[in-house]
């Protein structure tokens, strides 16, 4: 009976022929671990589509409901923290896999003729993936995403002539607010994924047309995609899934900072894979870091197939990529090191963590009012007290050696430290 059903389906769709063509493609030189990155990227993108669609069912894109809907998913929905964590860490894994896949293609010379178009599609896919990361960063509408997006969109204004107009279109006006959030959500959940699907389809079609490029001499005899390469791909995908699940469980989901508040400053930092650009902008003018250098790199990437025609050109391409990665890693290391050595930055991070824990504590106890979660912090007596102490008292007093919010004060205190005020210990120490 099952055979009859399968015969009927195959007669109407030709599914057996399609499966045979997909699985029994020849792998020149045999299955290899270095070929797994493309399949891993496809697996990660599929996971992102599934988890993103589920997240979409809970998300409400407005300045008064975005953070609140993420909070509800994270703390009220059973398994919501796990779902959001998988989406968060899988997105970061996708960036790493893109770099690995790109380097494998460049080292093997798989970007040369007749594969130029496929290489260019790969470069565009990398750009779309980075854009997905940037737009997704804002969606929780917390302090970290809000201020990091403000910094990123301000760089758009550096583009000559049309920069301010581009920034205004992306932001949705002169101020960051509801229109900024809805535009980023439309890009993140609609335009960019659809673009990536189209690029992936074109990429796979061209890959199947030209086949796998193998460096000579071939390591072993040719084999078929099924079962040898499929097994390696499956093992690699499983390893990525286990790593992401481990990170999700260890950190108990993705972080959620305090609600976005334009009146409350925050030490804006991008995600780790954009930190190198953040650090670079400390050493070069914004116009160079935001326009000249990116344009040069994109132009060079698209010219690589022509530069790499000769052996010298290919070696130059490979060397330039390694230098670019090494430079990015070094700049990222500098950025992290400087932040760790910066006492005020560390205090700002701790203050943001306190605010996040405090607003979640209040929301769990009293719920969220119609005015939104940001009003919980603005009206909270503990938060108000810390701010009042910092602005009116810390010029003379300290609280455990700081200004009441954890920030160091350069001036020498001229009055008593008020931590534990009026307690027996405090009076004893005063006397």
Taking only the tens of pLDDT, the chain with its 431 residues reads 787 888 778 777 778 777 776 666 777 777 788 889 989 999 999 999 999 999 999 999 999 999 999 999 999 999 999 999 999 999 999 999 999 999 999 998 889 888 899 999 999 999 999 999 999 999 999 999 999 888 888 888 888 888 889 889 988 888 888 999 999 999 999 999 999 999 999 988 888 787 676 666 566 677 777 878 889 999 999 999 999 999 999 999 999 999 999 888 788 888 888 899 889 989 998 889 888 998 999 999 999 999 999 999 999 999 999 999 999 999 999 999 999 999 888 998 999 999 999 999 999 999 999 889 999 999 999 999 998 988 899 889 988 888 888 888 888 888 888 888 888 988 888 78
pLDDT of residue 395: 87
Q: Give the predicted TM-score (pTM) of the model.
A: 0.90
Q: Cα(301)–Cα(307) distance, rounded to whole angstroms?
A: 10
Report the distance separating Cα 269 and Cα 278, nearest Å: 8
Q: Tell me the β-bridge partners of 223.
A: 27
What is the SS3 assignment for 293? helix
Which pLDDT value is given to residue 17? 75
- pLDDT for position 14: 77
* Residues 6 or more apart whose Cβ sits within 8 Å of residue 310: none
> Could you give the CA distance from residue 140 to residue 66 in angstroms, rounded to a whole number?
6
> Which H or E element spans position 224?
strand 223-224
Residue with tokens 């914004």: 286
Cα 56 from Cα 66, distance rounded (Å):
11
CB-CB contact of 341 with 144 (8 Å): no
Residue with tokens 């496929």: 118
């Amino acid at each position: 009976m099952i055979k009859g059903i399968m015969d009927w389906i195959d007669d109407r769709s030709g599914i057996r022929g399609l499966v045979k063509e997909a699985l029994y493609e020849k792998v020149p030189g045999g299955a290899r671990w270095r070929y797994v990155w493309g399949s891993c990227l496809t697996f990660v993108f599929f996971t992102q589509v599934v988890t993103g669609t589920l997240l979409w069912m809970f998300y409400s894109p407005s300045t008064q409901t975005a953070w609140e809907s993420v909070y509800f998913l994270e703390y009220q929905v059973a398994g919501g923290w796990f779902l959001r964590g998988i989406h968060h860490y899988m997105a970061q894994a996708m960036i790493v896999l893109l770099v690995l896949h790109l380097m494998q293609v460049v080292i093997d010379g798989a970007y040369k003729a007749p594969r130029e178009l496929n290489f260019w599609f790969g470069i565009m896919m990398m750009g779309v993936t980075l854009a997905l990361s940037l737009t997704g960063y804002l969606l929780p509408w917390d302090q970290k995403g809000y201020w990091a997006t403000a910094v990123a969109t301000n760089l758009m204004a550096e583009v000559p002539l049309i920069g301010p107009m581009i920034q205004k279109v992306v932001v949705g006006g002169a101020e960051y607010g509801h229109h900024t959030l809805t535009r980023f959500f439309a890009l993140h959940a609609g335009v960019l994924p659809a673009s990536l699907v189209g690029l992936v389809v074109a990429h796979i079609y061209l890959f199947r047309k030209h086949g796998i490029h193998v460096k000579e001499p071939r390591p072993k005899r040719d084999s078929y995609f099924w079962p040898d390469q499929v097994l390696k791909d499956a093992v690699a995908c499983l390893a990525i899934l286990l790593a992401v699940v481990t990170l999700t469980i260890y950190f108990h989901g993705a972080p959620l900072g305090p609600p976005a508040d334009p009146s409350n400053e925050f030490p804006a930092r991008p995600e780790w894979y954009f930190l190198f650009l953040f650090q670079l902008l400390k050493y070069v003018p914004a116009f160079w870091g935001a326009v000249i250098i990116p344009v040069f790199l994109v132009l060079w990437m698209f010219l690589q197939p022509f530069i790499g025609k000769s052996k010298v050109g290919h070696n130059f391409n490979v060397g330039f990529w390694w230098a670019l990665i090494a430079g990015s890693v070094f700049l990222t290391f500098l950025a992290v090191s400087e932040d760790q050595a910066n006492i005020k930055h560390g205090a700002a991070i701790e203050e943001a963590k306190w605010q996040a824990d405090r607003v979640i504590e209040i929301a769990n106890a009293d719920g969220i009012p119609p005015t939104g979660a940001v009003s919980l912090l603005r009206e909270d007596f503990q938060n108000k007290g810390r701010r009042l102490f910092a602005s009116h008292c810390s010029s003379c007093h300290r609280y455990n050696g700081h200004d009441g919010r954890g920030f160091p004060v350069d001036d020498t205190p001229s009055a008593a430290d008020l931590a534990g005020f009026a307690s027996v210990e405090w009076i004893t120490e005063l006397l």
